[in-house]
Amino acid sequence: MYDTLKLLHVLAATIWVGGAALLVFRGFRLSMNRDAGTQERLVFARDSLASGTVFAITGILTLVFGMWMVVDADGAIGWGDTWITFGFTGVALGAVLGQVFYGPQGRKLVAALESGDPAADAISRRLGMVSMLEILVLFVVIWAMVFKPGA
């Protein structure tokens, strides 16, 4: 059972973190493209906002399968292990940012782009910066899952 849970945990995390990394990369490329028009930016903003549902689902699945693995490990993995704490931190950060930051700011960006509001550039930069920082944190979480510091 443990190996099946581990597979499901890794697949969910791969979709979540890989998808988020792809959005960061696409967003960065778009921000560097001075020829990108409002329509192209609007399509990206809408796609990014819609991807929040996928990230929420895969983030929850990553957490559920990870917790189930700890329970299934019969004490071989502890809730207080450092690398488990890294994992909880990454999931918590993603959940909070999704609800409190990405959703509201994404909707604000779409509205600003649709109306031609010049504030769209500042909103876009803020979203990009927070996204890059979150990806760095998630990469540290992946490192912790692989190398298991404190284990």
Q: Which residue range(s) make up the domain with 38?
A: 2-147
Number of H helices, E strands in the chain: 5, 0
Q: Is the pLDDT of residue 54 over 90?
A: yes
pLDDT value for 99: 87
Q: How far apart are alpha carbons 6 and 148 in whole angstroms?
A: 15
How many other C-beta atoms lie within 10 A of the C-beta of residue 96? 11
pLDDT value for 126: 94
**How would residue 119 be classed by pLDDT, with cut points 50, 70 and 90?**
very high
Distance of CA 47 to the CA centre of its chain: 14
pLDDT value for 7: 95
pLDDT value for 73: 87
pLDDT in tens, 76-97: 888 889 899 899 898 888 888 9
What is the average pLDDT score of the chain?
A: 91
Q: Is the pLDDT of residue 151 over 80?
A: no
pLDDT in tens, 1-42: 889 999 999 999 999 999 999 999 999 999 888 787 888 999
Structurally, the chain folds into a number of domains equal to: 1
**How would residue 121 be classed by pLDDT, with cut points 50, 70 and 90?**
very high
**What is the mean pLDDT of the segment spanning 117-143?**
93
**What is the mean pLDDT of the segment spanning 42-68?**
92
Tokens describing residue 120: 């769209």
What pTM did the predictor assign? 0.84
Q: What angle do CA 14, 20, 22 make, to 5 degrees?
A: 95
